[in-house]
Each structure stands twice: as structure tokens, then as C-alpha cells.
Chains A and B, each alone.
Chain A
Amino acid sequence: MVMREPWANNLHPDTVSPFTIPAAMPPGPLLAIQDLTVAFDGVSVLRGIDLSLDRGEALGIVGESGSGKSVTWLAALGLLPSFAAVSGRVTLEGKDLLNAPAADLDRVRGGRVAMIFQDPSSALNPVIRIGRQVGEVLARHQGVSGGDIRAEATRLFELVGLPDARRRFDAYPHELSGGQNQRVMIAMALAGKPDVLVADEPTTALDATIQAQILALLTTIRTETGMALVLISHDLGLVAESCERVVVMYAGRVVETAPAQEIFSNPRHPYTQGLLAALPPFEGPLRRLVPIDGQVPDPSRLPPGCPFAPRCTKREPLCETAVPPLVQAGFGRLSACVAQTPSYVRPEKDRVLA
């Protein structure tokens, strides 16, 4: 079979890139998540998430630990343990993923949607050579076999800037540094030529200097391949820098969605404002950082109203009793706060869709 040259749009302008969108592509977002809920042992940790991702978009997901940002994407790809109760709808180009047969899901995972994780050293199998781990994806999703695997894997290692790429095929993960292992993870994700790369805290476990390198690599790869990027992080600054649109999550809900610049210049939700106040400024005089008081509530003991209300400086009486829905708060913006919702009517049910 004829191997499609990866990243062909850069190398051969006359070949059809796997990443250019054919005319017959169905309308609507590439990936849509609707009313996604997840519960572990009856404790609900994700309480109705609505998200959409366009082709080639860079979407940032921000929130403190336990806000459900990783769980959202693990659930979407069916990667949660079997005791997790997942409901809702996740569609890739209109095709449902949550109830898809295992074989279909396996074609999507790694082939259409790839995922990389926080701690690259434990995310790679310690007893399998890294070249083989990348080769698995090539064989599974690209039909590469035999000696071509070595050549192709080496090329991917070069692409992600792994030093001494030629000799690394036979290396084991423990022989590489954390940053190098994350490059291997990225190479492995790219091997399937996915439409989406979900990066779950890809730099959290790495040194500060390496963090910047990995982020730069992700940005470069995204612009070169045209794939969509979902960057999950607790660091709003980092996400705003490399993404076009930012989703802020709190206690298993989306509390604000906005273009990246606007979330900085004009944050709507008090939680987002709090996150920004806790962030050191990029320019201008130094100022005292303001932490958000209190802690993320225990998912099994959420307050009856807005989950952020106990920590919110702009709390109103209504916040204590009703959960505000996610509503339009400007062009291309959504926010879930009573303060932004003058027309807000107390809902009959616990949760109201925007």
C-alpha cells in the first residue's frame, strides 16, 4: 500500500494533506460533548459538561485539581475505569463515541483523537523499547509494518526534537529524561495522525525550562499539522498563551468559556477573576498576588447553590440556593454566574441547560 506521507502539507505541496478538510466534511464541530456526567461510586464528579471543539482549534481547559477537567476527556475517550458511571453524549463528526463498539472506539483512540498525560515517565511502558511503543501506533493506525516502522518512528523522534533520534528507537523509558519521555509521548500521539491531540497537564511534571520547550513543540506541531489541540492545565497563564479559546471548569462544571485574550482582559466569572488575580502579571509593576480563599468543595458534599459561592467575594443570597446555568455573556462567551444573568429565573430543577 502507498504510505501517506505524514505532515505532507509541509513537505509536498501537491499531495493532499490528511489534515486539509475535504469539501464533504459534515458541518458542525469536530468533537462535541453534550451533558456529560461522570459519577464514581455514586459521587458525581462531572455534572453536565457541554463543550465543542472545532477542526484545528486550540482549546484550553483550566481548573483546580478535582474540577473534572481530565475526567471530561478520559470519559469522552472511554478511558475511565469500569466502575465510573458515564452518561451524556460525545460525538466525533456526529458519530457517538460513548456507546460505540470497542473496535470503533479503538480506531478513534490514537487514530483520530490522541492523548498525552501528565507524568510521561509512568505513562510509557517501562519494559518495552520506546521505538516499539511508537511502532504500535504506526502499525495499528497507519498500516506501517516491518522495517518501515523503524524508519518512520525515527522520523517522528526527529520531528519532536528527541536528541540522537536514530539511536533512541531501542532505548527504554528509564534511559530518557522526563522531557524526552514527553517528546516520545508526543511522537507516539502524532504517529496516528490524529485530528485532535488532548494534552492532559503535559508539562506539570517537568522542569520549568522543559515546560516551555514542550509547549513550544505542541504549538509548532499544531500549526504545522493543523490538528486541534486540547490543552488541560491548572495554569491559566500557560493555557491562555497557547490556546485560542479557554474553558474554565469548577467542581465538575463549566463556569466560563471565552476567547483567550478576552479571558485575560475581561474575565466574567468571579472564579476566573480569582484565578487571574492569583497569577503573576506578565508585564507592568509587580503586585501582591491574591489567592482564592478556601478549597474546592468535596464532590460528595457540594453546596446546594453555586459550587463556588462559599469562596466567592461577590456572593448574593440567590447564589446559596440555585445553581446558575451557563448563559451567553457576550460574543462567543458563556458564563455561569448569577451576576451576569439579570434575566435569571430560579430554576425548577437542579440543573438548567443554557
Chain B
Amino acid sequence: MAGGATTPAWLLESEAGAFPIGCSGRRRRGSALEKTLDGLAKVVRQAITSEETAARPGLLQSLDARAKLLSVVALLVAVGLVRHIPVLAGVYLLTLALAAASRIGLWGFVRRVWLFIPVFTGLIVAPAMFSFVTPGEVVLPLGHWFGHEVGLTRQGLTSAGLIVCRVATSISLVVLLTLTTSWPRLLSALRTLFVPRLLVLVLGMAYRYLFVLLDSISEMVIARRARTIAAGRNGRGARAAAGFSGGALFGKAHALSEEIHQAMLARGFRGEARTLERARLRALDGIWLLACLALAVLVVGGDRALGL
């Protein structure tokens, strides 16, 4: 390097004249792809970091992850079986109470749950309120068509209400679990329950390397943006680049996986990872689990008592 090649003359000259730096008024809007990539890292980081809330002293935080996981599944099944909106509303209020007892900000909790899926669900099922999707007793007639009364039906309205409430309550339960349980605890809970060990090992590592890959993506986007000058053909160019970036990313991921494998081997890994033993279940965890199971039975029983 030193002394061998001489620097080409053009590299030593300024090209100030060729590319004026003032604004021309023509703005290149970053392609949708780039914007998506850009926001991605932030969103993922926010969504999957629960350390802060999981470390707060609260009701759910004090419980064992296994007990929490099983109780959430039991309640999810109960919520799935419920057929009356008031019962669902009751369970939803209970999730709010649990959030408050676990020192989770209620406004943030409600926002996180309702945006985006239940609201989206509401939009999606809106057409189902009309008689032409869900036939039945028309409660809000909108007119007649060839002898049939059309409009909003009781069945349609109930159905739409049911699904929105059920979706929101289900998501609330899952969010309660993830907000109050750190990821490593959740992983070891899965390990001690019914999930294959390989799957849990992969799950833990996938989560870990998500961040490494995200950093790689951000770097690639920044590098690409730094070299992109031409305006106009952003869409196609970006999409073509997606294939290449995707390929390069997979190459990086693969090379990294080889190194990780060697790092594991070097520390005695022989195909079956042994892990730290976790804390034993305490009486409180057992009581909690039993209470949740009883609640689930109660909810379904009460719902059936209201009629089918």
C-alpha cells in the first residue's frame, strides 16, 4: 500500500462544480422499503424489551413464569369459549385491574392492546353487521331490496361486538404476561413445560440475534443511502436491492451462525444444551394457578348459564 500505487489525479481534485449543493426544490422521498427498514429497528426494540416493566415490584411480577404462562393459556381458552359480550367485558376489566396491580401504566396498556389489532378487527368485521353477510333479525333497517329487508342485524352486531371484545381481551392477557415476565424467565418456563428443548434453545438464540441482524440491516440501509444519489427511480431500485440485501443478510447470518456454533463447541456443547435450574414453584404460584383455573371454569360456566 505504502509507496506502491500513486493516488489518481481525479481523486485529488474537488468536484464542487459538477454537483451543486444548493436546493433545487426536487425532493427525493425515501422509498417505502427504506422507510420500513428504518422504523423497523425502533419498533422491534420497543416491542420486545419488557425488562423495565418486568423489573417493577408488582403482583404479576412476583409470580413464577410457569404459573403465569399456564394461567394465561387457561384464561385464553375460557375467553375463547365465552359467548356473551358482558362476560368478556368483565374479563377485560379484570385484566385492567391486574395491570394496575402490576404497576403497568393503564393508558399505555390500553393503547398497546387496542392499537392495532382490535381496532383493525373492528374495521374488518364491520361488513359482517349487515344482513347480507349475517342474516337475521334486522334491528336497524336501511331499506328493502326485492322484498327483503336489509340493514344491520342483531346477529351481525352481536357477532362483531363479540369478536372485537374477544380479540382485545385475549391480547390484553398476552400483553400482561409479556410485560411482567422477562424473556429469559419466559424461556425457562417454556423449557420446563411442554416445548421441545431444541425449540427453546433456538427461540432464545433467535431473539438474541434478532438485534444483531437488525443492526446489520440498519448499517446496510445507511450505507445504501449514503451512496444513493439519483432521484426518481427509488421504488424499483430499492426492490432490486432488497433481493441483494436479503441475500447478503442471509450470508452474514450464516457466517455468524458458524462462529456461534464454534463458540458453543469450545465451551463443551455437545448437542444437548444444559441450562441453569430455575426456582421451584412456591405456594403462592400454586394458589395463583388454581385461582386462575377456577376463574376460567367460572367464566365459562357463568357464560353458559346466560344461555347458548
Partners in one complex: no
Chain B residues within CB distance 8 Å of chain A: none
Chain A residues within CB distance 8 Å of chain B: none
